[in-house]
Chain A
Amino acid sequence: MPDSQADIDREIADIATAVAKAVAGGEPEPEHVSRDYRPYRSSVLRHPHHPLILTAEADTELRGPVFGVTDVTELDRDLTRHHLGEPLGERITVSGRVLDRDGRPVRGQLVEVWQANAAGRYAHHRDQHPAPLDPNFTGTGRCLTDGEGRYSFTTIKPGAYPWRNHTNAWRPAHIHFSVFGTAFTQRLVTQMYFPGDPLFRYDPIFNSVTGEAARQRMIAQYDHDQSSPEWSLGYRWDIVLDGPAATWMEEGR
């Protein structure tokens, strides 16, 4: 029998209780996602059992791939202009800065996004959710960060969608982000959520980040100053990359 939402809720609560107890006992609140998070059933067979090997001897990983004007087009950042017509849904802009742990801007690096349409359907053959495809929306975009580490996308607010983790599983609305830092060790793939989503408490992927403050860092803020009159609603979301950066590159480029 498939798990019910109540089964998943119980598992999420049990893990949250254990984390709260550890924090009360003096352990730091978790900053990262837990790879081994049973309420997200697909993680069970897809996380390593061996501890990761800490590697001091890295040089390749302290550098990283380079992207430039040849790798993006001007239109890539506006997901509403990839087809002849206007996509359906609530037009939004999502913008913010990409920073490293020391708060320094990550300049000239590639940011990629992908998302469901306003009805909660991906333009992907394997997404069989019976919600309409939008012929005017594919849902992929990319841009390079500017000299201050800023990125910006114009898109449509994605819808929530069902999945098969358990019975009646629904993902809160989200935009998938892929971000490169100045070092391969700073690579990040994550999901940006929207404030006040009622589905947060039911979603094992969102709750796989077991620290409350850390979960908040995945949620964008509505920013009225970023809204354009009679055009779009504005959201702000800053991204902080973890992992060592090659600090000597500060002088270089």
Chain B
Amino acid sequence: MKPTPSQTVGPFFGYALPYAGGGDLAPAGHPDTVVVHGHVYDGAGDPVPDALLEFWQADPDGGLDGLPGSMRRDHVDGSFPGRDGVRFTGFARVATDADGHWAIRTLPPGATGPGRAPYIAVCVFARGLLQHLYTRVYFEDGAADPLLASLDPARRATLVAGAEPGGARRFDIRLQGDRETVFLEFR
């Protein structure tokens, strides 16, 4: 069957798709919590304040089964009480703020198989972007990973979240231009 074409997420998704605690994958206070954050930039180098990012990853043991409860609802009043604080769902969703910045708090993904570098899969939506883009957050520049190994060093660097003082990881997404992020397709 022929696929339904994509259309931009538009400027007004902000009251529909993001939800409270959308970036808080890690149970509160978990000692292994890592903050991953960055900006989204357009081709002029300006921050993109109306982007939406989704993250999907293996759990710390490399498991890819995921769990429901990412956008848990209160069935009494319909509010978003947040996740249950126990189960790791593997999914996060955050919008960029007025400065084009985003952040998630997660647990490091485990390797999903021998010789595979762990990564977080990312899906990028924005006003002006007619079809979402996929990329990956790697934590190490592991040349053993087949995708990383296939890229020249400058492009490869766009997929690796650098460590900041204090332990946060920095991952900027450039939609276009000089240091354009590597975007992926799957067939």
Contact = CB atoms under 8 A, between A and B. Distances in A.
Interface in A45-89: 45-50, 52-76, 82
A200 interface: no
Contacts, number: 243
Contacts of B109: 60
B187 A48 contact: no
B132 interface: yes
A243 B132 CA distance: 13
Contacts of A102: 1
* Candidate in B72, B130, B145 with the most chain A CB atoms within 10 angstroms: B130
B68 A185 contact: no
Contact of A53 (B54, B68, B151): B151
A190 B132 CA distance: 10
A164 to B, nearest CB: 10
Contact of B176 (A46, A59, A103, A114): A46
B14 interface: yes
Nearest to A98: B4
Interface stretch (A10-18, A19-27, A211-219, A221-229): A211-219
A6 B175 CA distance: 29
Contact of A48 (B7, B119, B121, B180): B180
B128 A46 contact: yes
Contact of B175 (A46, A188, A240): A46
Chief secondary structure at chain A's binding surface: loop
A31 interface: yes
Interface residues of B, number: 76
A138 B12 CA distance: 12
B126 A59 contact: no
A164 B148 CA distance: 41
Contacts of A122: 12, 15
B5 A72 contact: no
Nearest to A69: B68
Interface stretch (B29-37, B40-48, B160-168): B40-48
Nearest to B64: A63
7 contacts: A43-B130, A59-B113, A61-B56, A64-B56, A67-B68, A206-B7, A218-B7
Interface of B: 1-17, 42-44, 46, 48, 54, 56-58, 64-73, 75, 78, 89-91, 109, 112-113, 116, 119-121, 123, 125-134, 145-147, 150-151, 155, 175-177, 180-187
